[in-house]
Chain A
């Protein structure tokens, strides 16, 4: 976990430095415009350095996830097969983004629900029912009733 946090902090530091450098060197922003971003980034970078120092000296304290009412098992204590399964499950959850862009929102959301629920071994009847309800919600309520301009056709369609 310490290594993961170290990487997280390094990525955060690189992001802050990179954005500030782009502002200073590429956009050539004035001192007034950059004063506050540099102050915010400077203080945050200082804190990032302190936390990195604490981590490397072993005094950074164990990462303490925020409490949640849900029962979430510790990923690190799972066997490898279970970890692989967890990664696959998480990818399925995030697959909603490419699906709505590939198939359009109403159809993409319905297909997403059907696929994910079946992946989680939920019965065909319930999966189809929920996919249909999702289509009714996104197309019937959002597009037709509320007039939200939800893209019905796939993005690549044009």
Chain B
């Protein structure tokens, strides 16, 4: 492990890696500040540009941008009352009242410090867990790898989604779309319909851009832009520093909220939107003055923001160790693995422990750099949120076209992006899980290969191996938990309508 740490550090201390990570942090913050563009959109827009990069450079670039999007989102949540992305919504509850009360600087300082320190707790958890996971994954055989991949798709499709069937349909469609083009086992082109473009199959970058970027562009075009009161925006550095000190004073709240984020991040498929609200609820339950929550309590900013960034460290644990993404963004990051010639799954940690350590260091660097940039540049960055969506949408379309083309210098990728964009718009409108589709697409070659190997080696009895049986039980438990969760949520909603809800 010490060797891997040293090698990971060597990978990280590289001018190209650090410069590109810094650039990615700036891009991630700007995308976070722009309302409606979350981490998924950031990853989708940046994915084409990592093609051909070294694995550490490319993955570091993607991860750094994704990790800090919600730090940027905190700015608009606090200053304008508009969450930059869905996971920042919990921050609005107390952050915006603080701004209205003239304490915007305190709230911003608390949000930035909580984001940065929460991210560091996430990285600490990641580094602490990786050595324990490596010996376990060494004993994972082909049937278990197959079950892990299937489990990932089912968890992402089912957990955290409002409809189990819709999530699973999306995952199944993703698997099927990956089967176009040359078959990995027989080397025969499948379903290419006499169309040369399809010999290489459906390509990942147009798929991700189409599913995530195009629907957001359409939503920006059709949506109304909320304008916020400009009063209370002016913040001084003294206020920001006071807010940062408030986080250090409430370190136990920070650590507890961050650990909630780590845990929720580790559970595959639960989704990033959940962690901040759970941390907020926990902070409110344990607060000395819970009645202050919702009226501008600084704890109501610290708890969601720390869990928000900490969850990325947790999500990276299962993503790196098992190939099961802990969050929707990690599904797209797994796509980045494929683009860079790496195969996600249990073997990754065995073969590339140094890369895993390097990515943990990138996460640390990105979180700290984001805090520094936000403290210095928040008065400027807050103005970016004023860019009307009707200007932003066509500008993003131009970037999507350039990104789709630059991936493989293939004009038809641009057409494919916008055709898949129609599918993305339909899926978004109807509530079908787009991350599940991407994960199904990314995992399909692995599933097909390991299904083939498992059947060749063990026959249908592969499912009876203890590891495979255990994973099957976990899959069924996940399905059961999803149903139970929906039942309890439904009951809570009914109680709420009857006026019995307890907040």
Contacts of A148 in B (CB 8 A): 405-406, 409
Is A32 on the interface with B (CB-CB < 8 A)?
yes
Is B219 on the interface with A (CB-CB < 8 A)?
yes
Counting contact residues on chain A (CB < 8 A from B), the size range is: 35 or more
Contacts of B82 in A (CB 8 A): 69, 71
- Chain B residues numbered 24-52 whose CB sits less than 8 Å from any CB in chain A: 35-38
Is A137 on the interface with B (CB-CB < 8 A)?
yes
Q: Report the stretch among B169-177, B307-315, B466-474, B494-502 that lies at the interface.
A: B169-177
Q: How far is the CB of B123 from the nearest CB of chain A, in Å?
A: 25
Contacts of A27 in B (CB 8 A): 190-191
Is A14 on the interface with B (CB-CB < 8 A)?
no
Query: In the assembly, what is the distance between CA of A37 and CA of B189, in Å?
Result: 13
**Interface digits, A1-16 against B, CB 8 Å rule (1 contact, 0 not)?**
1001100110010001
Are B402's CB and A138's CB within 8 A?
yes
Query: In the assembly, what is the distance between CA of A112 and CA of B401, in Å?
Result: 11
Is B285 on the interface with A (CB-CB < 8 A)?
no
**Interface digits, A122-148 against B, CB 8 Å rule (1 contact, 0 not)?**
100010001000100110001000001
Are A72's CB and B394's CB within 8 A?
no
- Chain B residues numbered 171-230 whose CB sits less than 8 Å from any CB in chain A: 172-173, 175-176, 179, 183, 185-186, 188, 190-191, 193, 216-226
Partner of A33, one of B89, B183, B429: B183
Q: Report the stretch among B124-132, B159-167, B368-376 that lies at the interface.
A: B159-167
Residue in B35, B225, B398, B415 with the greatest tally of chain A CB atoms within 10 Å: B398
Secondary structure of the A contact surface, majority rule: helix
Is B133 on the interface with A (CB-CB < 8 A)?
no
**With contacts A67-B86, A69-B38, A70-B216 known, is A105 near B401, CB below 8 A?**
yes
Is B58 on the interface with A (CB-CB < 8 A)?
no
Is B73 on the interface with A (CB-CB < 8 A)?
yes
* Shortest Cβ distance from B392 into A: residue: A70
**With contacts A32-B186, A113-B398, A151-B411 known, is A40 near B191, CB below 8 A?**
no
**With contacts A36-B451, A105-B401 known, is A44 near B223, CB below 8 A?**
no
Query: In the assembly, what is the distance between CA of A5 and CA of B199, in Å?
Result: 31
Are B406's CB and A142's CB within 8 A?
yes
Query: In the assembly, what is the distance between CA of A22 and CA of B191, in Å?
Result: 7
* Shortest Cβ distance from B168 into A: residue: A47
Is B137 on the interface with A (CB-CB < 8 A)?
no
Q: How far is the CB of A40 from the nearest CB of chain B, in Å?
A: 5
Secondary structure of the B contact surface, majority rule: helix
* Number of B residues, CB within 8 Å of A: 73
Query: In the assembly, what is the distance between CA of A71 and CA of B163, in Å?
Result: 23
Are A96's CB and B401's CB within 8 A?
yes
Contacts of B393 in A (CB 8 A): 93
**With contacts A72-B223, A150-B405 known, is A12 near B188, CB below 8 A?**
no
Q: How far is the CB of A21 from the nearest CB of chain B, in Å?
A: 11
Query: In the assembly, what is the distance between CA of A50 and CA of B38, in Å?
Result: 32
Is B60 on the interface with A (CB-CB < 8 A)?
no
A-B contacts, 22 listed (Cβ < 8 Å): A1-B430, A8-B426, A19-B191, A22-B191, A27-B190, A29-B188, A61-B163, A65-B429, A65-B430, A68-B38, A68-B216, A69-B88, A70-B216, A71-B82, A72-B219, A97-B401, A112-B397, A120-B391, A134-B395, A134-B398, A137-B398, A150-B409
Q: Which residues of B contact A (CB under 8 A)?
A: 35-38, 73, 82-86, 88-89, 162-163, 165-166, 168-169, 172-173, 175-176, 179, 183, 185-186, 188, 190-191, 193, 216-226, 273, 388-391, 393-395, 397-398, 401-402, 405-406, 409, 411, 414-415, 418, 421, 426, 428-431, 433-434, 444, 447-448, 451-452
